[in-house]
Amino acid sequence: MIYSVVPGFFVQDTPGFDGHTADTTADDFGLLDKSPSGWAKLSASLDSLNSQAPSGTSYKLLWCARHAQGFHNMAEAKYGTPLWESHWAKLTTDGELVWGPDPNLSPTGEAQVERAHQAWKALLAKGTGVPLPRSLYCSPMRRAARTLTVTWRDILLGPAGLQPKFMDGIRETVGVHTCDMRSPKSVLGAEYPDFVFEDGFEEEDLQWSAEKRETHADVDVRVRKALDKIFSTDASTVISITAHDGVLRSILATLSHQPVFMPVAGVIPVLVKSSMDE
């Protein structure tokens, strides 16, 4: 698949945008059209683009969300990134914090994602017509699943709601760091019974190794395969992906989007054009 960003809708897509420090989450997610009908106009444009698209080309609004603060984030902040990378990330605990394997959200993270949930409800209450996802994809790490669950509680999730899908291809960088070793499939299924698993999802984490960690290039390849799978098999025009800092950087790079700072619990929408390789 060939991907590109459709410009003209979000400030983070514009030349000169400082994507290293700006956080557009609280500013209507960076929507350029601040009129009351701004989101409705975007939805209409998305429908129009797809209706006029040639065979093999489609347009999707992609909501990219980073998980809220986990216990591993607390530990990295406690010791600093150099010590975290060289020593502590390889362990599971310092006797005070436990961050591996597969840590959940910290109390701060729970508060962050609850604020995100309330922000979504407030935005919807305004009747802005903001386009909601019709498909939810999630990293198979508990911190991501918890973030997704709280964010979309009683909005998209519920007895007749959507079923989020766990995808191994959008998990955090694999190897060495114990926080990035996922839980068994049966544990995830018991904790998140409303989620489904992609085909071929293994019971145990066969990818994680204590000796070898993926490179940025490895993650880029894996993420592209995951995006290709989503875009080629899912007819939904509005999609959400809840994942991690490294994965989201790879997603934006794959989409030819300029780098954008993603704080914990941050969200960035991207209007994407995809077409089949010639």
pLDDT band per the 50, 70, 90 thresholds, residue 278: low
| The pLDDT value given to residue 75 | 98
* Lowest mean pLDDT segment, chosen from 74-78, 118-122, 182-186, 201-205: 118-122
| The pLDDT value given to residue 157 | 96
| The pLDDT value given to residue 113 | 96
| Tens of pLDDT, residues 223-241 | 999 999 999 999 999 999 9
| Tens of pLDDT, residues 56-71 | 999 999 999 999 999 9
The pLDDT of residue 28 is above 90 = no
| The pLDDT value given to residue 15 | 85
| The pLDDT value given to residue 264 | 92
End-to-end CA distance of the chain: 9
If you average pLDDT over residues 243-259, what whole number do you get? 94
Residues known to be catalytic? 67, 172
Q: pTM, whole model, 2 decimals?
A: 0.96
Q: Are 106 and 143 in contact (CB under 8 A)?
A: no
Q: Are 113 and 105 in contact (CB under 8 A)?
A: yes
Provide the 3-class DSSP secondary structure of residue 52: helix
The pLDDT of residue 22 is above 70 = no
The pLDDT of residue 206 is above 70 = yes
| The pLDDT value given to residue 19 | 78
- CB-neighbour burial class of residue 140 (10 A; exposed 0-12, middle 13-18, buried 19+): buried
Q: Which helix (H) or strand (E) holds 77?
A: helix 71-79
If you average pLDDT over residues 5-27, what whole number do you get? 83
| The pLDDT value given to residue 49 | 97
Say how far apart CA 142 and CA 138 lie, in whole Å. Answer: 10
If you average pLDDT over residues 251-271, what whole number do you get? 92
Say how far apart CA 242 and CA 137 lie, in whole Å. Answer: 6
* Lowest mean pLDDT segment, chosen from 15-19, 79-83, 117-121, 188-192: 15-19
